[in-house]
Amino acid sequence: MNHPDSTRLNKAISDSGYCSRRQADVLIEKGLVTINGEKKTLGDRAMPGDIIRVDGKRIVSNDTLVYIALNKPTGITCTTDKRVDGNVVDFIGHKERIFHVGRLDKPSEGLLLMTNDGDIVNKILRAGNKHEKEYIVKVDRPVTDEFIKKMSSGVPLHELETTTKKCFVERLSRFVFRIILVQGLNRQIRRMCEYLEFDVVSLKRERIMNISLGNLEIGTWRDLTTEEIKGLQDAVLDSNNAPAARKIEGRERRGR
């Protein structure tokens, strides 16, 4: 029987802000995680006061939770690997160790959420949680009624062996449309357009769940407001207990 004060090892690592639970599981599987000098496996638990190390580096608790909205420019890569030129972590240059919630392709721009709250990342990304993401897309050919109908009805993506879920699509101008997805398939919008013989000229994410880009300038970021954090947490209540919001003042910073 588990000790009532113990915590799953992957959660203990994610709570520290080191990485998400999924990433922690990968590190544990690789044999890179120890507790009090003993190598651990998936499913193991940690007690308060235990010394947890990842690849030899001690993991400490993180009492400063950070939630950021970034207007990502094109050319920036969504990775925490600092060996990658133009990685998003170096671009922001935040003093806390933060990581991205989901991804946004290197050629794409717009809203990207970043945090050191591994628990909420796990809940947002968890399969079955239908969280809306809204995009403005420009293509190389006129947007027709037929295109709108096919995009919204579901498009077969043979390389991913699936068909996209029905979604909201509307034409904004001759070459531009809005699309709201509840899926996060790899390069989903670009693949959908390619199937219908359209090429994406530009793609911008405007909204994730209750967080909107608004007038945030490209290349800048801001802390989420207390209300925005509460909205995120309310949206993931069905994914077990979300952590309590910390008060964060909304202020804008320019990425470096």
* Candidate from 108-117, 149-158, 199-208, 245-254 with smallest mean pLDDT: 245-254
Asked if the structure places residue 48 within a domain, the reply is yes
Domain count for the chain = 3
pLDDT tens digit sequence for 108-142: 999 999 998 877 877 777 645 678 999 999 999 99
189 and 201 housed in the same domain: yes
Asked if the structure places residue 149 within a domain, the reply is yes
139 and 195 housed in the same domain: yes
pLDDT tens digit sequence for 15-68: 887 888 888 999 999 999 999 999 999 999 988 778 899 999 888 776 678 999
Question: What is the pLDDT at residue 241?
Answer: 41
The CATH number given to whatever domain includes residue 155 is 3.30.70.1560
42 and 71 housed in the same domain: no
Asked if the structure places residue 181 within a domain, the reply is yes
Angstrom distances, CA of residue 222 to CA of 148, 165, 252: 34, 32, 4
How many residues are recorded in the chain? Answer: 256
Q: Is 105 assigned a catalytic role?
A: yes
pTM (2 d.p.):
0.74
| pLDDT value at 253 more than 60 | no
41, containing H or E segment: none
Task: Check if the beta carbon of residue 5 is closer than 8 Å to that of residue 47.
Answer: yes
The CATH number given to whatever domain includes residue 107 is 3.30.70.580
3 vs 215, higher pLDDT: 215
Angstrom distances, CA of residue 102 to CA of 22, 45, 53, 98, 146: 12, 26, 25, 13, 30
* Candidate from 3-7, 92-96, 134-138 with smallest mean pLDDT: 3-7
Angle at 100 between CA 228 and CA 40, to 5 degrees: 115
Sign of CA dihedral 71, 76, 79, 80: negative
Question: What is the pLDDT at residue 255?
Answer: 47
Distance CA 191, CA 185 (A): 9
16 and 119 housed in the same domain: no
Task: Please pick, among 15, 50, 55, 105, the residue that the annotation labels catalytic.
Answer: 105
| pLDDT value at 177 more than 60 | yes
Domain hosting residue 235, numbered range:
67-127+210-254
What three-state secondary structure class fits 245? coil
Asked if the structure places residue 196 within a domain, the reply is yes
Q: Which two tokens stand for residue 232?
A: 């995120």
Asked if the structure places residue 2 within a domain, the reply is no
222 and 114 housed in the same domain: yes
